[in-house]
Amino acid sequence: MDPKLFGGKHAGLGLGRRTYYQGYGDNATSNTRLIYGIMGLNTGIFVYAMYLKEQARQGHQLPLVKFLQNMSLSPVGVLKEHRYWTTITSVFSHVEILHIAGNMLSFFYMGSMLAATPGFTPLKLATLIVGSGFAGSMGWLYVAMKNRNYQSTALGFSGSVMGVGTVAAFLYPKTTFAIYGIVPVPLWALIAGYAIFDGYYLNDRNSRVGHAGHLGGLAFGVVYYFARVRGLRI
């Protein structure tokens, strides 16, 4: 997600209060720890990637090459070189500061909404996070293959963010976000807007955004909500 969507007094969820999701369940503390753990994992991998990038600038490029082979997603890597694990490892990898900052900020606020939802256990939250990320990877691979972008690569937590955001939008559609810290929009409209935007640019070869990955995560969120979340007491 775009980090510029959040800022000022409307940072994150924008309201600074839990109007639409009052009442912490017994799982809230464990869920919050899980969220911080996932953020810590992403941050740790990012810091290590920055270290390897600096090493590469000094002439030691092999460690960075190996890192990218194992922590980024590509059709060649998965289908020809059989690095199937990259469908998961790429979800938790970033190599640009704005990318990880936007994803972590979005994940923290949207994830916190689910963490506070009675009946939403750590297992459900973890399944949503990993499942959305994997679905995003598969969606991106499908479109990359369809467009014959065999050498393209992708990484990032955006698929998981979209899955978490989609479920949060179903549960708390009227919670307000602020685009660029100025324009308030309800969460349902923000997620719907992303779906339209990603769908429109899905096959744009010039875009550096993994639109298919976003849509894959969103699709998993929709399915997960109706299959596992709908009916929870709010």
Sign of the dihedral through C-alpha 120, 90, 135, 101: positive
Assigned domain for 44 exists? yes
pLDDT grade for 232, boundaries at 50, 70 and 90: low
The amino acid present at 119, given as its one-letter code, is G
pLDDT given at position 231: 65
pLDDT grade for 20, boundaries at 50, 70 and 90: very low
Q: Are the beta carbons of 5 and 70 closer than 8 angstroms?
A: no
Assigned domain for 41 exists? yes
pLDDT grade for 180, boundaries at 50, 70 and 90: low
Q: Are the beta carbons of 171 and 234 closer than 8 angstroms?
A: yes
pLDDT in tens, 106-126: 999 999 999 999 889 999 999
CATH number at 198 reads 1.20.1540.10
Assigned domain for 71 exists? yes
Provide the number of structural domains found in the chain. 1
Q: Which domain holds residue 189?
A: 3-10+23-229
* Angle formed by the axes of helices 158-171 and 122-146, nearest 10°: 120
pLDDT given at position 92: 97
Assigned domain for 15 exists? no
Assigned domain for 17 exists? no
pLDDT in tens, 161-176: 999 999 999 999 999 8
Assigned domain for 52 exists? yes
Residues with Cβ within 8 Å of residue 61, at least 6 apart in sequence: 55
Q: Residue 73: beta bridge partners?
A: 154
| Separation CA 231–CA 51 (nearest Å) | 46
Assigned domain for 160 exists? yes
* Radius of gyration for the alpha carbons in the chain, expressed in angstroms and rounded: 18
Ranges 25-29, 41-45, 99-103, 200-204, most confident: 41-45
Assigned domain for 108 exists? yes
Which two three-digit tokens encode residue 120?
Answer: 């939403």
pLDDT grade for 234, boundaries at 50, 70 and 90: very low
